[in-house]
Amino acid sequence: MRIRSNTYEKVCHLIASNIRDLVKHRETPVLGLATGTTPIGIYQELSRMRDTNFSSTITFNLDEYVGLNGWHPQSYNHFMYEHLFSNLTFHEKYFPTEKLYPYYDSMIDNVNGIDIQILGIGTNGHIAFNEPGTPRDSITRIVDLTENTIKDNSRFFDSIDEVPTRARTMGIETIMKAKRIYLVAQGSHKKEILEKAIHGEITPEVPASFLQEHPKCEVFYCE
């Protein structure tokens, strides 16, 4: 597996264009979406695609905090409306909410799986909220966030005490079933963990390392 380095703008443009191609050619395209700083440029590109009709596209977000309602400014639901959902019309937009998360994996299977999954990577090697120690066969569930993740995510909150300590997240198995995956790591603080995940040992201690076993995962690094 190769890490492709390019500018953030070019990577976002490439991924957004591949999503547009999928959406143009599939009857019911299914996207797996991430939140955080990394995918914002992809969502900006998609939001500009006024000539593309997303109204038959179904989206499944990777994760959501436990304890924040969907309209809390730091909820992932709110994030998605701010960066994408208020700009484009989709057919259905799903989050692993308290109600849906027990059925999330079957809901994804029932629409024939995720066609394109977008992923970021945490500085501890997490993908979605699958923290170090997550087994390969994990599915959508509630997890405790590690101190490292709480600290990383505190930049979005007024104080670290406000960061939720638990989240609902797709599992590694859920993510590995996606037909195509784009993993993007942006910034020099992600370089070391990305190297380890993509060229190091495949181990639950670095959850992103399982992606080495995915037949169609493309990995991008942007300065």
The answer to the question of residue 134 lying near ligand F6R (CB under 6 A) is: no
Alpha-carbon gap, residue 88 to 39, rounded angstroms: 16
CB of 143 to ligand F6R, least distance (A): 11
CB-nearer residue toward ligand F6R: 35 or 57: 35
Assess contact for 168 and 64: CB atoms under 8 A: yes
Q: 99-111 as b/e, with b when 16 or more CB fall inside 10 Å?
A: eebeebbebbeeb
Tell me if residue 124 is catalytic: yes
52-71 positions binding ligand F6R, by CB under 6 A:
62-63
CB-nearer residue toward ligand F6R: 5 or 56: 5
Alpha-carbon gap, residue 93 to 65, rounded angstroms: 17
| Count of residues that interact with ligand F6R, criterion CB under 6 A | 13
Alpha-carbon gap, residue 97 to 104, rounded angstroms: 9
The answer to the question of residue 218 lying near ligand F6R (CB under 6 A) is: no
- Using the rule CB under 6 A, which residue among 12, 58, 114, 127 binds ligand F6R? 127
Tell me if residue 126 is catalytic: yes
Assess contact for 16 and 83: CB atoms under 8 A: no
CB of 53 to ligand F6R, least distance (A): 26
28-47 positions binding ligand F6R, by CB under 6 A:
34-38
Tell me if residue 105 is catalytic: no
CB of 27 to ligand F6R, least distance (A): 27
Contacts of 167 (CB under 8 A, 6+ apart): 63, 64, 65, 66, 129, 142, 143, 145
Catalytic residues: 63, 124, 126, 131
